[in-house]
């Protein structure tokens, strides 16, 4: 629907004109009315209407003065003049201001409808023309960018600069951003076109860059701002939202910043290098010159030495799980990645080797512990995902998750055995000065971790469990006629008052009342 603003100082005229016809039948809707030129100008700025119907004679600034003001500002809005009587001098002046018609009050319904039919066609044609011009301009910009990115531009420097200025691409600096959608088998032209269109609109609305396509990538030419980091984060969020709709993943790489348009190929080359090497970068949302490339963080190793090291580390990962040391397992998985990077394994070789290591470890575990359930369908899906993760750190974390998943039953049984040993020890030595920290040291565990594990399995904290055992033993002794202070000492309490306090806390009565009741 095209929008209409009605301007007349008479309320009855404004209301009557708004309801005279069914505007929607002609592709229009009345968005508001105004009683004078000042109010009309404010609402024009608020609504940006496609058509204004303006009364010529109004108190204060008249209709023609309002039209002159709009035209002076460069507005090409459609305008129909409204007057209470035939005033040819006004009409003649109005025509010189590019108005589209002249209506006499009371307004003839057929005459108004005739104007609306003509204006609708004109507005449709204008939009079509603007779209075509915009498409030509977009194509021209993209062609210009391609020619410079690929070093195919044959223009001399002055001609190139002029074309850059005309295309609206004359900026202080430039960064080429490349976006790769994954996985390839789920991508079609419709996805790419839809994502590109959505991002293009966002860039245009914020005047922050220009979008284009090159090879299999979506490219963005980033316009410099005082907050480049914020601009990159905004781009990442916009890409994430656009891609999520299609259930895809993505990788973004930024090229080095250059100070002139004719150096774009340098920014493009560095962006291309980074996106092709994306698997070996850290988990930065956007790969840039500040991102860490894992290849440069480990010394190179001879390939012949690596095979033996990887075979050995597979066995060590299995043994780490077997003894329940998952922290060691995690560090070995990290070490495995470093070894392969140092030997310059390709991305595919690393993915394949990790899948082989997991298969090897799981086979040994299932042979040793038949109780570990391995659903072949689930396992198959898990192994397939080795080829979906976008970086080495993410892949390593995934390997860790898989092995944790299958080791959980084994580890849980081992932990239950450990806690059983602790509870047995408490029942045998409840009268001693037992401390969780001491037992943690004996069993070679972190005390906080062991305390949490103890509560998860027994339902009580270590101290609560110990207190309950002591109270049960104290009741047995009191039942046998042992004096209160003696019973307290025999179950591990040196302070009889503290013993009484604990006894009442757990039993609800004092030791003396307990004895009387017996």
Euclidean distance between CA atoms 447 and 217, whole angstroms: 52
* pLDDT (mean) for 71-94: 81
- Confidence check: pLDDT of 103 > 60: yes
* pLDDT (mean) for 480-489: 92
**342 — pLDDT class (breaks 50, 70, 90):** confident
* pLDDT (mean) for 77-106: 81
Cβ contact 285:238 at 8 Å:
no
Q: Residue 234 in 3-state DSSP? A: helix
Residue with the larger pLDDT of the pair 160 and 211: 211
What percentage of the chain reaches a pLDDT higher than 70? 91
- Confidence check: pLDDT of 296 > 90: no
**219 — pLDDT class (breaks 50, 70, 90):** very high
Cβ contact 58:31 at 8 Å:
no
Lowest-pLDDT range of 211-215, 298-302, 304-308, 312-316: 298-302
What confidence tens digit (pLDDT) does each residue in 305-337 have?
788 888 889 989 988 887 777 888 999 999 999
DSSP string, 23-88: GGGGTEEEEEEESSHHHHHHHHHHH--SEEEEES--SSS-HHHHHHHHHHTT---EEEEEESS--H
Cβ contact 329:321 at 8 Å:
yes
Quickly count: other Cβ atoms within 10 Å of residue 375's Cβ: 9
Cβ contact 80:54 at 8 Å:
yes
**185 — pLDDT class (breaks 50, 70, 90):** confident
Cβ contact 307:321 at 8 Å:
no
Residue carrying structure tokens 């993410």: 394
- What is the per-residue pLDDT for 220? 93
Q: What is the residue-averaged pLDDT of the chain?
A: 86
Long-range contacts of 499-504 (CB under 8 A, 24+ apart): 499/474, 502/467, 502/470, 502/471, 503/471, 503/474
Residues in the chain: 518
- What is the per-residue pLDDT for 126? 84
- What is the per-residue pLDDT for 334? 93
Q: What is the pTM of this model?
A: 0.55
Residue 2's beta-bridge partner residues?
28
Residue ranges in 323-461 assigned as alpha helix (H): 326-342, 347-368, 376-384, 392-429, 436-443, 447-458
- What is the per-residue pLDDT for 66? 93
**Domain 147-291: homologous superfamily in CATH:** Reverse transcriptase/Diguanylate cyclase domain (3.30.70.270)
Domain 430-517 has CATH 1.10.10.60: yes
- What is the per-residue pLDDT for 226? 57
Given its phi and psi angles, is residue 210 left (phi above 0), alpha (psi -120 to 50 degrees) or beta? beta
- Confidence check: pLDDT of 453 > 70: yes
**Domain 2-107: homologous superfamily in CATH:** Response regulator (3.40.50.2300)
- What is the per-residue pLDDT for 332? 94
- What is the per-residue pLDDT for 170? 87
Going by the DSSP 8-state scheme, the letter that residue 492 receives in this structure is T
Q: What is the dihedral of CA 242, 244, 249, 252, to 10 degrees?
A: 30
- What is the per-residue pLDDT for 45? 92
Backbone angles phi, psi at 286, to 5 degrees: -125, 125
What percentage of the chain reaches a pLDDT higher than 90? 40
- Confidence check: pLDDT of 489 > 90: yes
**136 — pLDDT class (breaks 50, 70, 90):** low
Where does residue 11 rank: exposed (0-12), middle (13-18), buried (19+ CB within 10 A)? Answer: exposed
- Confidence check: pLDDT of 152 > 70: no
């Amino acid at each position: 629907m095209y929008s209409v603003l009605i301007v007349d100082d008479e309320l009855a005229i404004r209301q009557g004109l708004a309801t005279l016809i069914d505007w929607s039948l002609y592709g229009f809707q009345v968005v508001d009315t105004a009683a004078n030129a000042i109010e009309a100008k404010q609402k024009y700025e608020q609504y940006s209407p496609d058509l204004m119907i303006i009364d010529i004679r109004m108190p204060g600034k008249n209709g023609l003065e309002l039209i002159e003001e709009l035209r002076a500002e460069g507005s090409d809005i459609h305008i129909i003049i409204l007057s209470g009587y035939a005033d040819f001098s006004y009409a003649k002046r109005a025509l010189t201001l590019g108005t589209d018609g002249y209506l006499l009050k009371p307004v003839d319904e057929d005459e108004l409808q005739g104007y609306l039919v003509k204006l609708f066609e004109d507005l449709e044609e204008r939009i079509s023309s603007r779209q075509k011009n915009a498409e030509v301009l977009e194509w021209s910009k993209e062609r210009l960018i391609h020619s410079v990115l690929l070093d195919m531009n044959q223009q001399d420097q002055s001609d190139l600069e002029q074309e850059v200025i005309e295309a609206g691409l004359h900026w202080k600096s430039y960064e080429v951003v490349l976006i790769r959608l994954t996985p390839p088998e789920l991508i079609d032209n419709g996805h790419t076109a839809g994502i590109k269109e959505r991002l293009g609109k966002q860039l245009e609305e914020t005047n922050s860059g220009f979008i284009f396509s090159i090879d299999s990538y979506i490219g963005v030419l980033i316009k410099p701002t005082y907050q480049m980091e914020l601009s990159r984060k905004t781009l990442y969020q916009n890409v994430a939202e656009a891609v999520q709709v299609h259930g895809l993943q993505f990788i973004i790489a930024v090229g080095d910043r250059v100070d002139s348009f004719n150096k774009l190929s340098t920014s493009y080359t560095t962006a291309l290098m980074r996106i092709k090497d994306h698997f070996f970068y850290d988990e930065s949302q956007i790969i840039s010159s500040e991102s860490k490339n894992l290849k440069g963080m480990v010394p190179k190793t001879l390939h012949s030495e690596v095979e033996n090291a990887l075979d050995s580390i597979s066995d060590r990962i299995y043994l780490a799980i077997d003894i329940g040391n998952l922290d060691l397992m995690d560090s070995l998985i990290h070490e495995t990645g470093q070894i392969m990077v140092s030997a310059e394994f390709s991305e595919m070789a690393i993915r394949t080797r990790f899948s082989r290591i997991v298969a090897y470890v799981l086979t040994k575990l299932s042979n040793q512990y038949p109780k570990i359930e391995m659903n072949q369908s689930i396992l198959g899906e898990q192994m397939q995902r080795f080829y979906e993760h976008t970086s080495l750190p993410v892949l390593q974390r995934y390997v860790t998750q898989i092995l944790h998943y299958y080791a959980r039953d084994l580890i849980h049984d081992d932990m239950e055995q450990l806690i059983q040993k602790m509870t047995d020890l408490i029942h045998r030595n409840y009268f001693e000065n037992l401390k969780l920290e001491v037992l943690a040291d004996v069993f070679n565990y972190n005390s906080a971790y062991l305390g949490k594990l103890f509560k998860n399995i027994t339902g009580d904290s270590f101290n609560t469990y110990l207190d309950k055992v002591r109270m049960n033993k104290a009741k047995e002794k009191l039942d046998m006629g042992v004096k209160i202070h003696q019973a307290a000492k025999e179950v591990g309490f040196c302070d009889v008052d503290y013993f009484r306090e604990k006894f009442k806390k757990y039993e609800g009565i004092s030791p003396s009342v307990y004895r009387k009741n017996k």
